[in-house]
């Protein structure tokens, strides 16, 4: 007897299901169950995964468990790292995690517009910083104004009288760069993802999670405890175990807050 089916979602639908309060356009909502581990991927793995999506490379399916009393509500069993990565990219494509440099050809063209004949390459870095700071502040394509950014760069670097001509050249270069990135973004958002939908007994989820992760990044002992105890009541007398369980619960709360785009918790304090 099979406890699963396979569906196809787009990357944007996955991100929306993770991030938005009401889920994606079909009202599908994905939540993070208590047995899940924390976010483990570093920036290099996140960027590599997004690059793979943009290039159309295949990757493994995600595993969601459908709740028995709500057909539009799912728990992520396998795929939290990938899900959180695409969530951040879809909703913050110009954020610090998703863009770190501007093409040198673009920077050189802007420098030449600002300082005709200037061959000082170091100026490129200053121009790049102004562009990235603007992108990091806006975070998404629908919030940027290239005319505004061109004026910011012009005011920062030159006192030339040819304002209209210079800002036009700067805007043309910025438009070339953002159009390329926006095309990449749209390619990623429209990419298809195989989703395995588990519909079997809920009490088997922690066992399925453990089996999937046997050959992956090793769970620490407290994550194993969390997965084991998620379906039944246990009495715990070991103070070290109690403190670490509390710590992991707080980390889980922090992760949910970050995924929903709320203010992060400033500090944690636990008592013995």
pLDDT one-digit tens code per residue, 201-254: 888 888 888 887 765 556 666 666 665 555 555 677 788 888 888 888 888 777
To the nearest 5 percent, what fractions of the chain are helix, strand and coil? 55, 10, 35
pTM: predicted TM-score of the whole model, two decimal places: 0.72
Average pLDDT over residues 63-85: 90
16 three-state secondary structure = helix
Query: Cβ(12)–Cβ(57) under 8 Å?
Result: no
Q: Which of 102, 87, 75, 61 is nearest to 188 (CA)?
A: 87
pLDDT at residue 271, rounded to an integer? 46
**pLDDT per position as a tens digit, 118-157:** 778 888 999 999 999 999 999 999 999 999 999 999 988 8
């Amino acid at each position: 007897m099979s406890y699963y089916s396979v569906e196809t979602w787009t990357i944007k639908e996955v991100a929306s299901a993770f991030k938005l309060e009401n889920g994606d356009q079909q009202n599908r909502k994905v939540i993070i169950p208590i047995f899940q581990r924390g976010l483990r991927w570093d920036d290099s793995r996140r960027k590599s995964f997004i690059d793979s999506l943009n290039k159309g490379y295949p990757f493994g399916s995600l595993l969601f468990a459908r709740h028995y009393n709500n057909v539009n509500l799912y728990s992520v069993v396998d795929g939290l790292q990938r899900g959180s990565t695409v969530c951040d990219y879809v909703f913050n494509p110009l954020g610090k995690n998703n863009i770190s440099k501007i093409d040198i050809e673009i920077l050189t063209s802007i420098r030449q517009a600002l300082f005709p004949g200037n061959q000082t390459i170091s100026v490129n870095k200053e121009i790049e910083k102004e562009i990235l700071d603007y992108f990091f502040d806006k975070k998404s394509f629908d919030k940027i104004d290239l005319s505004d950014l061109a004026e910011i760069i012009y005011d920062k670097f030159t006192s030339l009288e040819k304002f209209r001509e210079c800002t036009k050249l700067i805007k043309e270069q910025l438009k070339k760069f953002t159009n390329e990135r926006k095309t990449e973004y749209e390619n990623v958002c429209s990419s298809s993802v195989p989703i395995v939908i588990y519909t079997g007994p809920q009490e088997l989820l922690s066992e399925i999670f453990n089996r999937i992760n046997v050959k992956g990044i090793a769970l620490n002992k407290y994550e194993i405890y969390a997965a084991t105890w998620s379906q039944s009541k246990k009495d715990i007398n070991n103070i070290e175990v109690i403190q670490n369980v509390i710590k992991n619960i707080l980390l889980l709360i922090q992760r949910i807050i970050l995924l929903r785009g709320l203010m992060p918790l400033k500090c944690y304090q636990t008592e013995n």
